Homo-oligomer: A and B are copies of this chain.
Amino acid sequence: MMEAKKKITFDDIAKYTNFSKTTISRYFNNPDSLAPESQRIISDALEKLDYKENKVARILANGQTEFIGIIVPEFYHRFFSEVLNQILSTYETYGYKFLVFVGNQNEESERRYIQELLSYQIEGMIVLSHTLSSKELSRLQLPMVTIEREDRYVCSVNTDNYTGGRQAAALLAEHGCDILLHINSPTDPRIPAYGRITGFQDYCQEHGLRHEVLLRDVDRSHERDQAILQNVIHVLEEQYQGQRKGLFLSNDTLANTFLNLLFRKYGQLPDDYLIMGFDNAPTSRESIIPISTVGQQVDQLAYEAVRLVVDQINARKEGKPLHGKKPVHRIISPVLIPRATTEGVVREN
Interface residue ranges, A against B (CB under 8 Å): 1-4, 52-57, 59-60, 65, 74-76, 78, 81-82, 84-85, 88-89, 91-92, 97-102, 104, 109, 111, 113-116, 118-121, 136, 139-142, 222, 253, 256-257, 260, 263-264, 267-268, 282-283, 285-289
Contact across chains for A100 and B100 when beta carbons are under 8 A apart? yes
Given A54-B119, A88-B100, A91-B101: A222 and B282 interface contact (C-beta under 8 Å):
yes
Given contacts A52-B118, A55-B119, A99-B97, contact A139 B4 (CB under 8 A): yes
How many Å from the CB of A18 to the closest CB on chain B? 26
Nearest first, the 10 A-B pairs at minimum CB distance are A267-B267, A4-B141, A81-B81, A75-B85, A55-B119, A53-B119, A288-B288, A88-B102, A3-B139, A260-B288
Decide if A119 touches B65 in the complex (CB within 8 Å).
no
Q: Which residues of B contact A113 (CB under 8 A)?
A: 91
Can you list 24 residue pairs at the A/B interface with Cβ under 8 Å? A2-B111, A2-B136, A2-B139, A52-B115, A52-B118, A54-B119, A55-B121, A56-B59, A56-B60, A56-B120, A56-B121, A75-B81, A78-B81, A85-B102, A88-B102, A92-B109, A97-B99, A98-B100, A99-B99, A222-B285, A256-B286, A260-B287, A264-B288, A267-B267
Instruction: Determine which of B85, B253, B267 lies in contact with A286 in the assembled complex, contact meaning CB atoms within 8 Å.
Output: B253
A102 to B101, CA, bound (A): 16
For A91, what are the chain B residues with a Cβ–Cβ distance below 8 Å?
A: 101, 113
| A52 and B287 form a contact (CB under 8 A) | no
Inter-chain CA distance A78–B80, complex, in Å, is: 12
Instruction: Give Cα A109 to B78, complex, Å.
Output: 25
Please give the distance in Å from A220's CB to the nearest CB on chain B.
Answer: 14
What residue of chain B has the Cβ atom nearest to residue A95's Cβ? B116
